[in-house]
């Protein structure tokens, strides 16, 4: 059995329901949820937690409708203290800067429509504050779904690398592969300057149990073959902690070129 370097659990059970770690510092999040996720990671040999920093409905480090304006100091403190706790617990931290698409009625809209300069400064300040504690930076959650071209994603990855410096992995979280009825195909290229490619399988996570482990592994093998040698971290595949989900994780772990899996094996 392979033992990938990154063993994340983006989705975990909480009080009988699937929960996601993206927004464990977002609106409505609680200490109980954060503690439950840490306990879940320890109990299931997971070592990496992914947190999202910007979602126009659920999460921002700034006051509502004021991206790069007035900081929400309570939110900043919450994020910092949780990151410190994760590291103290021996867990690695990954940040995803953005999420989308834009949500015009969202509490924190607009974020994605900010200027490239504002995004660049935001990324720089986050890295300056969190570089000692964060191991992986992702441009965003599904950065292909909010109108950012592959070229633009690569430009931002270049900037993140400059801000992060050595000792950090930088990439994007995307759903890069599709099925056309006859075979797998690349919907978007893997960012060519990424250190790592954080991947969501082609199914919606709620449909994860409908897929065989063999089918999912075939998809990931296709991605690896078309990733230009960039290591693949499969981070999102199945909403449920089921026997099928764990079988899928085990199958993915055996694929050369995969350095991260999406849940317990």
User: Residue 150: inside a domain, yes or no?
Assistant: yes
Max Cα–Cα distance, the chain, nearest Å: 52
Alpha helical stretches, state H, 89-180: 116-130, 150-164
pLDDT at 1 over 70: no
Residue 153 has pLDDT above 70, yes or no: yes
Q: CATH number, domain at 114?
A: 3.20.20.80
Q: Does residue 118 form part of some domain?
A: yes
Q: Give the distance, in angstroms, between the CA of residue 217 and the centroid of all CA atoms in the same chain.
A: 20
- Asked if 190 and 227 count as a contact pair (C-beta separation under 8 A), the reply is yes
Q: What is the pLDDT of residues 107-141, one digit of tens each?
A: 999 999 999 999 999 999 999 999 999 999 999 99
Does residue 263 surpass a pLDDT of 90? Answer: no
Both tokens of 235, joined, read 């981070």
Q: What is the pTM of this model?
A: 0.96
Decide if 1 is inside a domain.
no
Q: Quick one: which of 159, 161, 180, 183 has its CA closest to 170?
A: 161
Instruction: State the total domains in the chain.
Output: 1
pLDDT number for residue 2: 61
Range of the domain at 141: 6-261
pLDDT at 157: 98
């Amino acid at each position: 059995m392979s033992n990938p370097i990154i063993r994340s659990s983006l989705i975990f059970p909480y009080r009988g329901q699937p929960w996601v770690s993206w927004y464990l510092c977002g609106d409505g999040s609680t200490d109980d949820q954060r503690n439950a996720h840490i306990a879940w990671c320890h109990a299931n040999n997971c070592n990496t937690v992914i947190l999202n920093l910007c979602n126009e409905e659920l999460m921002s480090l700034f006051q509502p409708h004021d991206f790069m304006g007035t900081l929400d100091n309570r939110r900043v403190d919450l994020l910092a203290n949780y990151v410190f706790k994760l590291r103290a617990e021996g867990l690695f931290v990954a940040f995803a800067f953005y999420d989308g698409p834009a949500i015009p009625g969202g509490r924190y809209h607009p974020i994605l429509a900010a200027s490239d300069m504002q995004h660049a400064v935001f990324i720089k300040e986050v890295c300056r504050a969190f570089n000692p504690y964060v191991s992986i930076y992702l441009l965003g959650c599904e950065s292909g779904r909010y109108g950012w071209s592959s070229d633009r994603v690569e430009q931002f990855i270049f900037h993140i690398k400059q801000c992060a410096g050595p000792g950090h992995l930088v990439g994007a979280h995307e759903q890069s592969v599709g099925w056309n009825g006859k075979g797998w195909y690349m919907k978007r290229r893997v960012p060519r300057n990424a250190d790592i490619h954080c991947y969501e399988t082609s199914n919606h996570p709620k449909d994860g149990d409908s897929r065989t482990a063999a089918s999912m592994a075939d998809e990931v093998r296709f991605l690896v073959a078309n990733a230009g040698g960039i290591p693949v971290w499969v981070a999102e595949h199945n909403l449920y902690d089921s026997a099928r989900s764990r079988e899928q994780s085990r199958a993915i772990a055996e694929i050369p070129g995969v350095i991260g899996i999406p849940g317990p094996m």
